Amino acid sequence: MSQLLIATNNPGKLVEFERLLAGCGWELVTPAQLNLALPDDEPGETYEANAKIKALNGARASGLVTLADDSGLEIDALDGGPGARSARFLGEDAGYEERFARILGEMAELPSEKRWARFRCVIALAEPGLPAGRQGSEEVRLCEGEVRGLIAFEPRGEQGFGYDPIFYLPQQARTMAELPSYMKDVISHRGRAAARARPLLKELLYERRSRADTAGQPL
């Protein structure tokens, strides 16, 4: 079975991708399994740029088809912040409780109708052997997912990770962190992006098998 590198060191993301990509025809492997020390920095200004950079870095370091994502929380009342810098909001060393406190403090006086936000996720798929320094969309396949909700008045729930405890879903009357995993996988931004990535992964697997058959080489 062909291997797909999931280019993240985030244990929460790894667990989710194992569920979201189950049965997709690829064997998922992690940087730790390959003894790869991939950089955690995200120098891009957009989700797309960061996802591309991480996917290309992983593909070049491993020689494997690589999937990477970048995601963030965009809050209308905070002009779309923290956005693409969600993972570094208040600094690399800040904890999520500190981040929650800052966001909820700034929004303390806002009623529910002014607490709209969305989670966004962009997934990038890169093949090994791409020329260094080139990151065009024709070489890296992208797909995106998002979900709208409200910023809760206080953190709730023990499931998930990141900003899940303060992201309230009105239709479910629960925060993302209160959802069981099977429900979150359908609703979440990462779940929706992964659902769009699955046909791309099948297409990529077919292309690679066709090339291998033509060349008379094992995949």
Query: What is the C-alpha to C-alpha distance for residues 50 and 48, in angstroms, rounded to an integer?
Result: 6
Query: What is the C-alpha to C-alpha distance for residues 61 and 44, in angstroms, rounded to an integer?
Result: 19
> What percent helix, strand, coil does the chain show, rounded to 5?
40, 20, 35
- Please give the backbone phi and psi of residue 53, each rounded to the nearest 5 degrees, phi first: -60, -45
Tell me how many degrees the CA angle 139-140-146 measures, rounded to the nearest 5.
Answer: 150
- Per DSSP, 162 falls in state T
Contacts of 213 (CB under 8 A, 6+ apart): none
| Catalytic-labelled residue, pool 40, 69, 70, 213 | 70
Annotation says 70 is catalytic:
yes
Residues with catalytic roles: 70
